[in-house]
Chains A and B, each alone.
Chain A
């Protein structure tokens, strides 16, 4: 369908396979060694690690409860009075008199959940679809090839639908909530993962160790599940890292479109950012904190993913 998109995915797959062939020893260990030398990878890893740390420890390290409207009597919406940063509230107060700093820290967890769950949905469903297609095409005989063709044409159609539209359609079915956002963003990623895993598995299916396993009489299911599949995950994991960044940004956009969490009490960066648009002219800081959070986190995952891709792709490595 989208020839270019497909070619790009296929290139990533090829690159993974080539890197494996070109060098002896563990691919992952070699990639890791290369990544340790790349400033991109290091800064990405630091950002991601910090984000995960805050997300996990959030409720325990936040100075105040995130939902308590402790300073509610100091905020005046109609006069645009929003106390800014001060000694007790480092990031100031939000429109209901809640401590912004605590909300940012506690909100990291929900944001991480949205990104991780959405990515997992796309990954899991995509892995099943792509895996079945590859297995059927390789070992299923003539009928298997037909099944593979049907599956992959369907995936190609889905790949042609812009992500936000797919997300909108899912959200229209399920009504607004945070899980809708996760499912919507996740579903939009399924075709990409399916395509990527299938390509990667097909590349593996032609390798010598699979031939060896076949000639030894290992059962097909076992070859697919414990030989081909684990060895095909490299490019897919890279893609998952990049998708995490997209998922967090797209989730914020869906929240802005009113498809996110209808209860703005629970802090989540995307919901907070969407919610703050109402006070943008009077109190832009309410939007800037969650926006910076989202941008920096997305940047971290993107840097890490790109660095991983580069360390897997010998052609890209030559360039930069």
Chain B
């Protein structure tokens, strides 16, 4: 296990280094180059040269890459072209909102998906099963931003049950501790703030949960079906174990392995969905920031975002792989 962990950590380092190379190449290949973005259109060639020198763009390419790398390690992604503030600060301010939204979405997906998938497998061929399978198929086919927009129109604008945008009602007094507003509200005892934050979370979280929910339901169903057919389940049944024990110890425990993997993968891809969902609900998270950065071609902001998400994603995969080893003795033996 230790050897495996070390090996994976080394692979992680190489992967991240490769990623910075890719990002550097991407950044160098951007049209126009930063000097044209930062100067007015009527700038003279002298001014351009001066700025290139100041930015270090006339240095040899490996010096530039070294500089790039050392800046990334210091989390210095430069300033956002649209706001002029450091990208790292902008991202740090918005990260809690995205984390809160993503965690809520994945919690919904897990809380509904696993029981639904399990029930669908238990009552295989029933209407419940058919409904679960077909709605999960449709779930992965609905564009996330369309679902988010429709939820907003129906439940916020037409029915007026839930707020249309933002994380809190305008003018709400609020004490910040972690940046996760529901948690903060509970910690400070401001339960009205926490409830307000929950109401604002419902629609975006449901929209964001649609794809993970569909995937988790399907994987759980397939996995439970596979495990139920195993010999050891029949053996357990034959020796007279209580159905509840078989379900808990033999079926669910083994069926959860692929589900855990998939949840890990989904957490990473949730950020893509968050970009779209947050922009619909003006949620003020990283997603809204990236939406703006994309439409305004704010390259430093995009680069910072891509790097952070990629690191997050790669680390997450490592954790999933390692936890897989912990959960499944067979993986440990093989490695």
Binding site for B on A (CB under 8 A): 1-5, 153-154, 156-158, 160-165, 168-169, 171-173, 175, 245, 249, 252-253, 256-259, 273, 277, 280-281, 284, 287, 291, 294-295, 298-299, 302-303, 306, 315-316, 318-320
Contacts and interface: CB of A to CB of B under 8 A. Distances in A.
B306 A165 contact: yes
Given A252-B146, A291-B143, 16 more contacts: A2-B317, A156-B15, A161-B306, A168-B290, A169-B26, A169-B302, A173-B29, A175-B31, A249-B141, A252-B143, A257-B294, A280-B153, A284-B150, A284-B153, A287-B150, A320-B225
A4 B302 contact: no
Given A3-B324, A287-B149, A253 B143 contact: yes
Contact of A1 (B264, B272, B314): B314
B321 A257 contact: no
Nearest to B133: A320
Contacts of B321: 3-4
28 contacts: A1-B11, A3-B317, A3-B320, A4-B258, A4-B262, A162-B309, A163-B269, A164-B269, A164-B272, A164-B275, A165-B305, A165-B310, A168-B290, A168-B302, A249-B141, A253-B276, A256-B143, A257-B291, A258-B294, A259-B294, A280-B149, A280-B153, A287-B146, A287-B149, A291-B143, A299-B141, A315-B226, A319-B225
Nearest to A167: B272
Interface string B235-276: 000000000000000000000001001101100110110011
Contact of A160 (B225, B302, B317): B317
B281 interface: no
Contacts of A259: 294
Nearest to B16: A157
B295 interface: yes
B149 A302 contact: no
B157 A162 contact: no
Contact of B140 (A4, A175, A302): A302
Q: Is the interface of B mostly helix, strand, loop or mixed?
A: helix
B19 interface: yes
Contacts of B144: 253
A8 B261 CA distance: 11
Contacts of A163: 269, 272
Contacts of B324: 3-4
A245 B269 contact: no
Contact of B302 (A172, A175, A256): A172
B138 A295 contact: yes
Contacts of A294: 141, 143
Contact of B143 (A154, A273, A299): A273
A4 B265 contact: yes
A144 to B, nearest CB: 21
B326 interface: no
B149 A277 contact: yes
Interface string B142-169: 1111100110110001000000000000
A157 B265 contact: no
B142 to A, nearest CB: 6
B299 interface: yes
A164 B305 CA distance: 12
For the complex of A and B, list the 7 residue pairs with the smallest distance between their C-beta atoms, beginning with the closest: A164-B272, A4-B261, A298-B141, A258-B295, A3-B321, A319-B225, A157-B18
Nearest to B154: A284
A312 to B, nearest CB: 15
B229 interface: yes
A263 B35 CA distance: 29
Contact of B145 (A2, A253, A316): A253
Interface in B202-243: 222, 225-226, 229
B306 A168 contact: yes
Contacts of A298: 140-141
Contacts of B272: 162-165
Interface in B289-335: 290-291, 294-295, 297, 299, 302, 305-306, 309-310, 313-314, 317, 320-321, 324
Contact of A172 (B146, B264, B294, B317): B294
Contacts of B11: 1
B306 A245 contact: no
B23 to A, nearest CB: 8
Contacts of B38: none
B150 A299 contact: no
A197 B137 CA distance: 26
A160 B30 contact: no
Contacts of B152: 280
B22 interface: yes
Interface in B1-40: 11, 14-15, 18-19, 22, 26, 29-31
Contacts of A173: 26, 29-31
B180 to A, nearest CB: 23
Contact of B153 (A3, A249, A281): A281
B314 A295 contact: no
Contacts of A245: 141
Nearest to B29: A173
Given A3-B317, A320-B225, A160 B141 contact: no
B130 to A, nearest CB: 11
Contacts of B157: 281
Interface in B276-296: 276, 290-291, 294-295
Contacts of B297: 172
Contacts of A161: 19, 306, 310, 313
A157 B17 CA distance: 10
A160 B310 contact: yes
Contacts of B229: 318-319
Contacts of B19: 157, 161
